[in-house]
Structure 1
Amino acid sequence: MKAPWMLLFEAWAVQKLLRSPAFNSMVQKAYRKINGLPPMGPDNGHGRTGPSAFDHFRTEVKNQFRELTWQKKPPRN
């Protein structure tokens, strides 16, 4: 059986490790590699796999503008 102070130290060490940014980064890299996901680097759009919300917005504005400019005006009487 472990001494009570050893259990407290173990709990403290585990908590410290789980809150560590370096540990979380390492776990995230391993998870992405195991599951075949793209890396989270800035050269890869921080791991995004599809278009952003801004890309959708820009495409929608382009389509609406295109429809607006190509509409035929009714003839004047």
Structure 2
Amino acid sequence: MAPWFALFEAWAVAQLIRSPTFNRAVQKVYRKINKIPDFEPKNGGGRTGPSAFDHFKDEVKTQFRDLTWQKRPPK
């Protein structure tokens, strides 16, 4: 085996082990095999209300509405 391939393989394995996605997948498989319940609830991490992006959209709409209202000519 060429030394450059061994170096590449070591780098790839190190990157894979550090990857959060890989670690979550391994954790899910381990929990499924050992029949351990999940840490997180099934409803998307327990979020029930509007997201931060929804609040941001509402704030931008409100500010835009105020700006456009000020520029309207009087009737």
1:19 paired with 2:18, answer yes
Question: What do the CA deviations read for 1:16-75 (whole angstroms, capped 9, x no partner)?
Answer: 00000000000000000000000121x27x9xxxxxxxxxxxxxxxxxxxxxxxxxxxxx
Name stretches of at least 5 consecutive residues in structure 1 with no aligned partner. Answer: 47-77
**Misfit runs of 4+, over 2 Å:** none
* Other-structure match for 1:39: 38
- Number of paired residues? 43
- Matches of 1:18 and 1:39 in 2, distance apart? 21
- Matches of 2:23 and 2:33 in 1, distance apart? 15
Name stretches of at least 5 consecutive residues in structure 2 with no aligned partner. Answer: 46-75
Q: Displacement, 1:5?
A: 0.1
Q: Which amino acid aligns with 1:11?
A: A
TM-score normalised by L of structure 2: 0.54
